[in-house]
Amino acid sequence: MTSPKLTRLPCVQVNKFGMPLYTLAIIDRHGSGQPVVQSLVYREDQPHISMMLTAFKKLCADNGGVDTSRSIFMVDKDSAEIAALSETFPGQKILLCRFHVVKAMIEEIKKMPLSSTDKETLVSVSNARHLLSCVI
């Protein structure tokens, strides 16, 4: 079974208009990620991401390539991506990337009104839990 996975490349501006580049990849039967669609999106909001996902879904239906009825999507914490996926692929699993969740948690810890020592302790615990959960 192939599972579409929504990933966004780290390049924020890939053209003179500052449009982000999204890549849709599938996990093949060997467990390797294979990019299948790349799309420049005018804005990183739900309507524009939904348009890109709808085009991908139509492409899959027209070509009979990927079964999107049993999809698992992995995203960072971006609420626009999550909302667009929920709208375009209702009832499908949407998972948060552990790395991005821990990264966001650490960023929030650093903003807290705590002593430097307490912040360092919380960040260390967050990183340790992330590493342990990756090993287990």
For the cut 60, the answer to whether the pLDDT of residue 21 exceeds it is yes
The Cα–Cα gap between 129 and 117 comes to 18
Categorize the per-residue pLDDT at 3 as very low, low, confident or very high, splitting at 50, 70 and 90: low
Task: Give me the percent of the chain exceeding a pLDDT of 70.
Answer: 79
The Cα–Cα gap between 134 and 117 comes to 26
The Cα–Cα gap between 98 and 71 comes to 18
Phi, psi of 37, deg, nearest 5? -145, 135
For the cut 50, the answer to whether the pLDDT of residue 1 exceeds it is no
CB neighbour list of residue 19: distance below 8 Å, 6 or more residues apart: 13, 40, 41, 42
- Structural domains for the chain: 3-96 (3.30.420), 99-135 (no CATH)
34 exposed, middle or buried (CB, 10 Å; 0-12, 13-18, 19+)? Answer: exposed
80, 97 in Cβ contact below 8 A?
no
Note the helical H segments in 19-67: 46-63
For residue range 69-118, list pLDDT tens digits in order.
777 888 887 889 899 999 999 998 888 888 888 888 888 888 889 898 88
User: Across 5-9, 66-70, 102-106, which has the greatest mean pLDDT?
Assistant: 102-106
